Amino acid sequence: MKSTRQLITLLVFGLSCATLFAQQNTDQSKFRQLGVELPTPNTYRTASGAPGEDYWQQRADYDIKVELDDDKQRIIGKETLTYYNNSPHPLSYIWIQLDQNVVDPESNTYKTKTNKLSEKMSAVQLNAMVDNSFDGGHKIEYVKDALGKALKYTINKTMMRVDLPVTLPAKSGKVVLQIGWSYNINDRLNPALAADGRGGYEFFPEDGNYLYTITQWYPRMAVYDDYNGWQHKQFLGQGEFTLVFGNFQVAITVPADHIIAATGVLQNPKDVLTAEQIRRFEESKTASKPVVIVSQEEATEKEKTKSKEKKTWIYKAENVRDFAFGSSRKYIWDALGVKIDGSPVPTVMAMSYYPKEANPLYGHLSTEAVAHTLRVYSKHTIPYPYPTAISVEASNGMEYPMICFNYGRPEKDGTYSERVKYGMLGVIIHEVGHNFFPMIVNSDERQWSWMDEGLNTFCQFLAEQEWMRDYPSGRGPARNIVDYMKADKSVQNPIMTNSESIIQFGANAYAKPATGLNILRETIMGRELFDYAFREYARRWAFKHPTPSDLFRTMEDASGVDLDWFWRGWFYTTDNVDISLDEVTEFRLDTKNPDIEKTLAAKAAKEKLENDVTYQNNKRDLAQVAVERNPALKDFYNSYNPNDITPIDREQYKQYISGLDEKAKMFMEKNQHFYQLDFSNIGGLVMPLILKFEFEDGTSTVQRIPAEIWRLNDHKISKVFAFEKAVKQVILDPQLETADVDIENNYFPRKAIPSRFELFKTQGFGRNGPQNGSNPMQQAKQMESKGQGKN
Ligand SMILES: [Zn+2]
C-alpha cells in the first residue's frame, strides 16, 4: 500500500487522549432536528406521524349517468353529488374541479407554457406551440340543489365555486347537488391537446374505430382539509389530482358493440355481456392463468361494423377517490382471479383490455404483471382491498382507482425490442402500483408529486426485482441517480417543491425519492427496520390524506432511527453525495526494541543513500573527497553509526518494557497495522461510510459506519482502523449504494475510473446498455426465415 508510514510511541503513563472538536454553529449542523420545517403536531396529525384523535376528512358520493357519443366523440353527463362536511368548520361555499378546462381555448395551460422556435421544426411541434383552437373544456349545463333549484356558481378556469343557499353545518353537514355537463373528447395523441396528457380518444385509421380512455371527465369535488383549507390550486397539467373518497354508482351508455373497462364492479353483466362471456369470466376466477373473455378474433370481427344500438353498463365502486373508464369495440379482454393474503376481498380480478395492435405482447404479459404487482405491493404496504385491478392498453401511462392505462405495442410482425418489453412491464407495474399511492394512501398530488410518484416508483423497483433477478430497472439503484445529482444546480430543485414548479420532473419526483427510499432500505436502516416502518406508514394512512411530515415522522417513529438528517439533505436540498477518502496513513507501533527498530533504521538509511542522486553521482565522478584525502580531518563521528546496536540500547529497552502496563504490552505483542483514514465531504450530503479493505494477502473485509460519524463535523473527519494484516487498497462505497457522484476519490491509492463513454465502448450494447431501438427478436426471426437461425 502506498501511504505515508509513521511510528506511534506508546506513552509509559498510559494513553492520553485529548480530542479537540471543531467549534460549529449548531444551527448549521446537518444533524440538527427538523424543527421549523415540519408543521406543529396537533390533534389531527400527531408527532408520531399517525392520524390524531380529531383527524377528519370529507366525503363525496356520486351517482352519475353518462353517454359516450361515438359519432361526435363527446361526453354528455349528469351527476348527483352528495357532499358530507365532516370538518369542524361550517362551509358557505364549496369548490368543484373542472379538469377538462385545461384544454379550453382560454386555458392558462396554453398561456403559461413557455416555448422557443428553432430553424428546423416539424409541423406537429409548431402546432403544439400555437394551436388552442380545439373546442375543449367542461360545458356546464346546470348546477341545481336536490329539489332542482338553480344554484349560483362561478367558474375560475379549472375550478368552480358553488355558493350554498344555506351554510353547510360543521361535523354533520350534508348537501346534494345536481350538475349537468358535456364536453368534446380530445385526441389523446395530438400534442397540442395533450395538455393533460392523460385521457381522450385514439383513432385507428385502418379499421375506422376509436379507443376511448375517459378520465377527469365529471365535475369532481375539490379537497377541503386541515392543512390547506380548500386545495383549489389550478390544474395546469403537471400537478395532478387531490381528491375526496366516496362511493360511486355510474351508468355508462355506449354503442352496443363496445366493451367497457371501468373502476368498480359491473352490476348488470346479463344486460351487456353474452352468456359465453359470463361463463368465461366465471372460469377466470379460479383459473391458474389468464382466461380470454373477448378473443382477438371476436374483437377483430366487431371492428368491421358499427352498431347503432346502445347499451348501458352500470358500475359500483366503494371508498374510491375517482372513477375512470375505457370503451371500444376493439377491446380484447382477459382476466385472472388472484388471492391476496389479508385482503377483505376473497378474489381480486386482475384484468386487461387491449386492441389487437398490442398483441401478442399484452395478452402474454399484462394480466400476469397486474397480478404480480398486487402481490408484491400488498406485501410491502397493505393487502390490496379493491375487487378489481385493470390494465388497459392505451399508448400512454396513467392511473385511476382499480384501472390504469399503459402502453405496450409490438411491431406489426409481432416482434418487439427489449426496451418495449421492459418499458411496458415497468409502466404496467407502475400504474397498477398507483392503486396503493395515491389511490389508497391518498396524498395531495396537486402539491407533492413525489408523495405518490416517488413512493410508487420505489415499490415499482421492488416489484421489478421480484419479477426477474436482473430486471433492468431504470429508477431505484443509487448508481442510476448520479448523473442527475451532479448536474448543474440551476436545473435542479429540492424534492420538496410544489408539483407545478418542478424542473426535470421524472428525475426529481420519481427517481430521486425512489432512490432515497432504496438507500434507506439497503444502506441506512436495513431491510427489517425499513420494511416495518414503511408498511406502518401505509397502514396508518390507507384511505386517509397523509402529508410529507406524516411520512417522515412515521418512518422514524416505527424504526427508532433518527432520519432528520436524511430528510433534510435528500428532500429539502439539492446537495449531492461526494465523500472523498483523502488520505490513508499507516502507523506502526515503535517497539523501542533496538534489534528491530535499529535494524529497520539501518536498512532505511542504506536505501536513502542508494536513492540519493548527488551521493551516487559523486561516487562515480569524485575519486576522493576531503576526509578521504586527509584522514586527519576525521573524528569520533566519522566512525560512529547511530544504528549500531549497543548494550546501552538494550538496557534502555528493558527499562521501557518494564514500565509499560498490561494493555500496552498486549499492543506490543500483537504488532498490528494502524490506519488513519481522512475523509472530506465535498457534495454536502452526509452518508454512511462503507469501507472495503483489501489486504496484501488477497483477502478483504467490509466495515459499515453509520452516517452519525459526521455529527460533530460534517466537512472533515478521520477514523482509525487496526488490522493484523497489511492493507493494500481501501475502497469507499464499493457497491455504489450511496449515489456518490465522484468515485475516483473513493479509492486509496487513487484509481483511474473509466468515463461513461469508455465504459460504453467496452461494454457494448446489452441488457443494461442502450439498444438504440434495435430489435434482436426481429433480427432472429429474419435469420430463422432465411434458414440461418439456430436449430
Ligand atoms: Zn406515476
Predicted local distance difference test score (pLDDT) of residue 561: 98
DSSP reduced 3-state for 681: strand
Give the mean model confidence (pLDDT) for residues 776-783: 84
Predicted local distance difference test score (pLDDT) of residue 192: 74
- β pairing state of 259-262 and 74-85: unpaired
CA distance 596 to 610: 21
Distance of CA 521 to the CA centre of its chain: 13
DSSP reduced 3-state for 333: strand
Predicted local distance difference test score (pLDDT) of residue 788: 53
* Ligand 1 centre distance from Cα of residue 454 (Å): 8
User: Which one-letter amino acid corresponds to residue 235?
Assistant: F
Predicted local distance difference test score (pLDDT) of residue 756: 55
* Ligand 1 centre distance from Cα of residue 352 (Å): 19
Dump pLDDT digits (tens) for 708-731. Answer: 999 999 999 999 999 999 999 999
* Ligand 1 centre distance from Cα of residue 678 (Å): 42
* Ligand 1 centre distance from Cα of residue 440 (Å): 14
Dump pLDDT digits (tens) for 635-666. Answer: 998 988 989 999 999 999 999 888 888 888 88
Predicted local distance difference test score (pLDDT) of residue 21: 45
* Ligand 1 centre distance from Cα of residue 327 (Å): 22
Q: Residue 787 — very low, low, confident or very high, per pLDDT cuts 50/70/90?
A: low
Q: Is the peptide bond before 749 cis (omega within 30 degrees of 0)?
A: yes
* Ligand 1 centre distance from Cα of residue 396 (Å): 11
* Ligand 1 centre distance from Cα of residue 736 (Å): 26
* Ligand 1 centre distance from Cα of residue 457 (Å): 7
pTM score above 0.75: yes
* Ligand 1 centre distance from Cα of residue 455 (Å): 9
Predicted local distance difference test score (pLDDT) of residue 94: 98
**Residue 342, Ramachandran bin (φ over 0: left; ψ between -120 and 50: alpha; else beta):** left
Task: Of 32-41, 173-182, 369-378, 701-710, give the lowest mean pLDDT range.
Answer: 32-41
Q: Is the pLDDT of residue 195 over 90?
A: no
**Interacting residues of 183 by C-beta distance below 8 A, sequence separation 6+:** 74, 75, 100, 136, 137, 138, 139, 217
Task: Of 36-40, 121-125, 335-339, give the lowest mean pLDDT range.
Answer: 121-125
* Ligand 1 centre distance from Cα of residue 61 (Å): 25
* Ligand 1 centre distance from Cα of residue 432 (Å): 9
* Ligand 1 centre distance from Cα of residue 545 (Å): 18
Q: Is the peptide bond before 346 cis (omega within 30 degrees of 0)?
A: no
Predicted local distance difference test score (pLDDT) of residue 774: 67
* Ligand 1 centre distance from Cα of residue 561 (Å): 29
CA-based radius of gyration for the chain: 35
Task: Show the cell assigned to 365.
Answer: 404479459
CA distance 62 to 64: 6
Give the mean model confidence (pLDDT) for residues 174-188: 96
Predicted local distance difference test score (pLDDT) of residue 194: 62
- β pairing state of 246-255 and 310-320: antiparallel
Give the mean model confidence (pLDDT) for residues 50-76: 98
Task: Show the cell assigned to 101.
Answer: 378546462
Predicted local distance difference test score (pLDDT) of residue 172: 85
Torsion from C-alpha of 649, 653, 656, 660, nearest 10 degrees? 160
CA distance 595 to 653: 10
* Ligand 1 centre distance from Cα of residue 6 (Å): 56
* Ligand 1 centre distance from Cα of residue 226 (Å): 26
* Ligand 1 centre distance from Cα of residue 544 (Å): 19
CA distance 764 to 775: 15
* Ligand 1 centre distance from Cα of residue 552 (Å): 21
Q: Is the pLDDT of residue 197 over 80?
A: no
* Ligand 1 centre distance from Cα of residue 430 (Å): 6
* Ligand 1 centre distance from Cα of residue 766 (Å): 27
State what percent of residues in the chain have pLDDT above 90.
Answer: 79
* Ligand 1 centre distance from Cα of residue 634 (Å): 88
Q: Is the pLDDT of residue 2 over 50?
A: no
Q: Which residue, chain included where needed, has cell 353474452? A: 274
Q: Is the pLDDT of residue 19 over 60?
A: no
Q: Who surrounds ion ligand 1 at CB < 5 A? A: 453
* Ligand 1 centre distance from Cα of residue 515 (Å): 15
* Ligand 1 centre distance from Cα of residue 419 (Å): 19
* Ligand 1 centre distance from Cα of residue 420 (Å): 18
* Ligand 1 centre distance from Cα of residue 288 (Å): 29
Dump pLDDT digits (tens) for 420-451. Answer: 999 999 999 999 999 999 999 999 999 999 99
* Ligand 1 centre distance from Cα of residue 662 (Å): 64
Dump pLDDT digits (tens) for 443-479. Answer: 999 999 999 999 999 999 999 999 999 999 999 999 9
Asked if 722 and 673 touch (Cβ cutoff 8 Å), the reply is yes
Dump pLDDT digits (tens) for 26-45. Answer: 567 899 999 888 999 999 99
Q: CB atoms < 10 A from the CB of 320, how many?
A: 23
**Interacting residues of 527 by C-beta distance below 8 A, sequence separation 6+:** 521
- β pairing state of 403-406 and 388-393: parallel
* Ligand 1 centre distance from Cα of residue 509 (Å): 9
* Ligand 1 centre distance from Cα of residue 514 (Å): 12
* Ligand 1 centre distance from Cα of residue 69 (Å): 30
* Ligand 1 centre distance from Cα of residue 192 (Å): 22
Q: Is the pLDDT of residue 766 over 50?
A: no
Q: Residue 780 — very low, low, confident or very high, per pLDDT cuts 50/70/90?
A: confident
Asked if 108 and 230 touch (Cβ cutoff 8 Å), the reply is no
* Ligand 1 centre distance from Cα of residue 431 (Å): 6
* Ligand 1 centre distance from Cα of residue 161 (Å): 29
* Ligand 1 centre distance from Cα of residue 453 (Å): 5
Predicted local distance difference test score (pLDDT) of residue 14: 37
Asked if 648 and 552 touch (Cβ cutoff 8 Å), the reply is no
Dump pLDDT digits (tens) for 487-541. Answer: 999 989 999 999 999 999 999 999 999 999 999 999 999 999 999 999 999 999 9
Asked if 56 and 88 touch (Cβ cutoff 8 Å), the reply is yes
**Helix count and strand count (H, E) for the chain:** 22, 31
CA distance 26 to 99: 47
* Ligand 1 centre distance from Cα of residue 437 (Å): 9
**Helix 450-467 × helix 548-559 angle, to 10°:** 50
